[in-house]
Amino acid sequence: MVIERRPESFDDVFMNALHQSKLIGVHGRNHSGKTRLIRDLISHTGGTHIEVDDHLEQPPDGRTYLERVKAGELMQIIRMSQKPVFLDSFIVLDVLEKINVQADYLIFCERLTDVSNFRFNQALEKTYDDYEERRDPRDSASKIFTFNLFLV
């Protein structure tokens, strides 16, 4: 399996913007390359990766993903973390609104590969579809990365 990312490299303007940012929001559909990209960026910038999925109240008990986000815990972790902080969520604009924080920079990740044969959480896919319709995350992004998967 080969994963292609566009753009492949990080230009100086982009890297300078990240170095000057305290909080970077990264969003995009599930399995769109967010975590892979953040790991690569941290290897160049340092900083902290915070996955919102790790800060959800359990069990779901019928609550939406956003209702389960532990806002106080996220805010505390963001404050205490080494900068820049990469906040990783498929609905990052909603999460930022919930915790009443604004990102300095927004990155959108999109997947080109047809992944219809993978089994994703249908409720989360619907949540993202609603988010995309309400927020137009691609349009709000400072930078867009596109990922394509090739099976070899």
Name residue, tokens 């806002």: 71
Which of 123, 122, 144 lies closest to 14 in space, CA to CA? 144
Q: Quick one: which of 76, 69, 63, 73 has its CA closest to 123?
A: 63
- Centre a 10 Å sphere on the Cβ of residue 139 and count the other Cβ atoms it contains: 8
Domain ranges of the chain: 2-150
Give CA–CA dist 52/86, Å, rounded. 10
Q: pLDDT tens string for the chain (152 positions)?
A: 677 899 999 999 999 999 999 999 999 998 889 999 999 999 999 999 999 999 999 999 999 999 999 999 999 999 999 999 999 999 999 999 999 999 999 999 998 876 555 556 788 889 999 999 999 999 999 999 999 876 55
Note the CATH architecture for domain 2-150: 3-Layer(aba) Sandwich (3.40)
Q: Please state the pTM of the whole predicted model.
A: 0.93
Angle, helices 12-20 vs 34-45, to 10°: value is 80
pLDDT at residue number 40: 96
pLDDT of the residue at 151? 59
